[in-house]
């Protein structure tokens, strides 16, 4: 063990020297509005303050997911890990200690293990920060290569509690001996995690100092209340998503495909440098809108008699919006479409009227359900309030942030929470009501920042009322003259790039 202390001490000193000279990315390669290293350090300190005495919190990066053969999905960091570190690479782990630790003459209260610099690997898959880059760019005092964790002289048994999220996901064992798989295996051995053939810790009565429940509660409390820096990024994601809705309203024409409409939204996202989607885009025309998470978006031509439900959110610097608009493909609501739309709109506004600190999430949902049930009864679609659940089968509100369904407490609303309000009515074909309602699906979803005495309606720029939508759809689009040559497939069927 003394050899381990000496080795660990030497490694820290080497990394400290390298950090001052390390520069991974050339100036101009990266955006300048990522969260600062001070933000992440302050978040780690806030977590440390909430941790119980004599405890350590352990976090792991997300695994790399394989798409097929030798192609992986685009990597997306674990939101908790990103929140606490700003580190966007895989194969890494973070330890946050309640009290200062002393090893080999060094004193610290956090340590991160990351991917090593590797010239050949970086040529294929991109630049790595390495320990030096993590200390200089992300503000850690102690950062080591992942391979050092196997020799890291930590005794988890000395802590009253070891806090971590249980291992519910499979992780592939890659060729790298310091990949996420090996970090997890080594942690389990060091911490005395139960045999792999036994149940997850969360299903067993605790028999040791391993706690897989507390960390979720602590992170919910932190991430549910947004800081000013986070609010700015969510607001940017919302503005970009609103711009997408507006441009689609202007460009939409009968005969477009669901996929083309999706593409317009996502082009706008990229135009404003949103690096990703917060979740798979939902673009469902007609009865496809009755599928709550319809992500196929395959319909080759949308019908002017239908409405289209568009639930999309840009992800900007890791933070996502969540906005839904339902609009008439023809540009004008039919009588039945307008009736259902205005019931949903009224339901949303009922929740908005009580959206302020102190209100519960249940209060918001109850406000929307009351209006929806009344409207469906008045129009003969149901006869009893309790039947409304067939056509409004989901809750109305959730947190947004680093996740589209973000961490946060789901009791009373508090200042600086950011939530959605999203009532909906979905009437599938062959429902037990007049066929004139069949295939109508409406969801209206907006994003709100809780203020001291009320809320700010962040997604207000996206047209929401019947008049606002119809007026916007009558405006010219920058895409009106964007027509690509037709392409013929093997059967000589013309495939048009846009409406004709």
Q: What is the mean pLDDT of each run of 10 residues along the chain (500 residues)?
A: 50 46 61 95 98 98 94 96 98 97 87 96 94 96 96 95 93 86 96 73 69 97 98 98 98 97 98 97 98 97 98 98 98 98 98 98 98 98 97 97 97 98 98 98 98 98 98 97 86 56
- Sign (positive or negative) of CA dihedral 28, 29, 34, 37: negative
Query: What ranges make up the beta strands (E) of 286-438?
Result: 307-312, 314-316, 319-320, 323-328, 418-421, 424-427
pLDDT score at 18? 46
pLDDT score at 173? 86
Query: What ranges make up the beta strands (E) of 22-105?
Result: 55-60, 66-68, 71-72, 93-103
209: left (phi over 0), alpha (psi -120 to 50) or beta: alpha
State the Cα–Cα distance between residues 159 and 475, nearest whole angstrom: 64
The token pair at 213 is 């429940």
H/E stretch holding 106: strand 106-114
Look-up of token digits 């976090």: 59
Q: For residue range 303-329, list pLDDT tens digits in order.
A: 999 999 999 999 999 999 999 999 999
H/E stretch holding 247: helix 228-251
Q: What phi, psi does 60 have (nearest 5°)?
A: -120, 145
Cβ atoms of 340 and 425 within 8 Å: the answer is yes
pLDDT score at 499? 52
**Which of 193, 192, 16 minimizes the C-alpha distance to 104?**
16
> What is the length of the chain?
500
State the Cα–Cα distance between residues 221 and 203, nearest whole angstrom: 23
- Which stretches within 335-420 are classed as H helix? 335-353, 361-378
**Which of 119, 127, 118, 171 minimizes the C-alpha distance to 147?**
118
Q: For residue range 335-361, list pLDDT tens digits in order.
A: 999 999 999 999 999 999 999 999 999
Largest interatomic CA distance in the chain: 80
pLDDT score at 420? 98
Cβ atoms of 43 and 84 within 8 Å: the answer is yes
């Amino acid at each position: 063990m003394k050899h381990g202390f000496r080795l660990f001490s030497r490694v820290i000193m080497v990394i400290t020297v390298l950090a001052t000279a390390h520069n991974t990315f050339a100036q101009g390669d990266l955006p300048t509005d990522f969260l600062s290293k001070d933000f992440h350090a302050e978040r780690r300190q806030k977590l440390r303050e909430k941790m119980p005495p004599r405890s350590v919190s352990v976090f792991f990066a997300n695994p790399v997911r394989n798409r097929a053969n030798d192609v992986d999905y685009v990597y997306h960091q674990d939101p908790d890990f990103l929140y606490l570190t700003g580190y966007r690479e895989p194969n890494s782990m973070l330890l946050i200690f309640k009290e200062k630790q002393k090893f080999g003459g060094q004193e610290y209260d956090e340590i991160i293990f990351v991917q090593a610099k590797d010239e050949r690997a970086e040529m294929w898959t991109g630049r790595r920060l390495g320990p030096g880059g993590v200390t200089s760019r992300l503000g850690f005092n102690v950062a080591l290569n992942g391979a050092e964790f196997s020799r890291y002289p930590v005794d988890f048994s000395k802590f009253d509690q070891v806090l971590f999220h249980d291992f519910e996901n499979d992780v592939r064992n890659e060729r790298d001996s310091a990949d996420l798989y090996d970090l997890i295996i080594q942690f389990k051995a060091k911490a005395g995690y139960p045999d792999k053939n036994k149940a997850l810790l969360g299903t067993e009565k605790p028999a040791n100092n391993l706690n897989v429940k507390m960390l979720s509660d602590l992170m919910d409390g932190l991430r549910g209340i947004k800081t000013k820096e986070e609010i700015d990024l969510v607001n940017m994601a919302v503005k970009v998503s609103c711009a997408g809705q507006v441009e689609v309203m202007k460009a939409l024409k009968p005969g477009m495909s669901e996929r083309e409409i999706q593409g317009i939204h996502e082009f706008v996202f990229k135009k404003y440098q949103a690096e990703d989607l917060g979740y798979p885009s939902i673009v469902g025309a007609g009865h496809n809108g009755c599928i709550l998470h319809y992500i196929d978006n395959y319909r080759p031509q949308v019908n002017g008699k239908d409405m289209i439900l568009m639930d999309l959110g840009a992800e900007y610097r890791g933070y996502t919006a969540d906005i839904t608009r339902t609009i008439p493909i023809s540009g004008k609501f039919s009588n039945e479409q307008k009736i259902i739309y205005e019931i949903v709109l009224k339901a949303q506004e009922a929740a908005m009227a009580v959206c302020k600190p102190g209100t519960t999430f249940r209060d918001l949902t109850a406000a929307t359900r009351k209006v929806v049930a009344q409207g469906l009864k008045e129009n003969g679609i149901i006869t009893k309030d309790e039947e409304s659940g067939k056509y409004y089968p989901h809750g109305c509100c959730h947190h947004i942030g680093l996740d589209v369904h973000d961490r946060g407490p789901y009791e009373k609303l508090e200042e600086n929470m950011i939530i959605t309000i999203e009532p909906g009515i979905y009437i599938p074909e062959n429902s037990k009501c007049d066929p004139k309602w069949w295939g109508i699906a409406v969801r209206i979803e907006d994003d709100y920042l809780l203020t001291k005495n009320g809320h700010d309606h962040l997604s207000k720029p996206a047209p929401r009322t019947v008049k606002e939508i119809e007026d916007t759809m009558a405006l010219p689009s920058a895409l009106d003259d964007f027509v690509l040559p037709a392409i013929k497939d093997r059967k000589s069927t013309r495939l048009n790039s846009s409406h004709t």
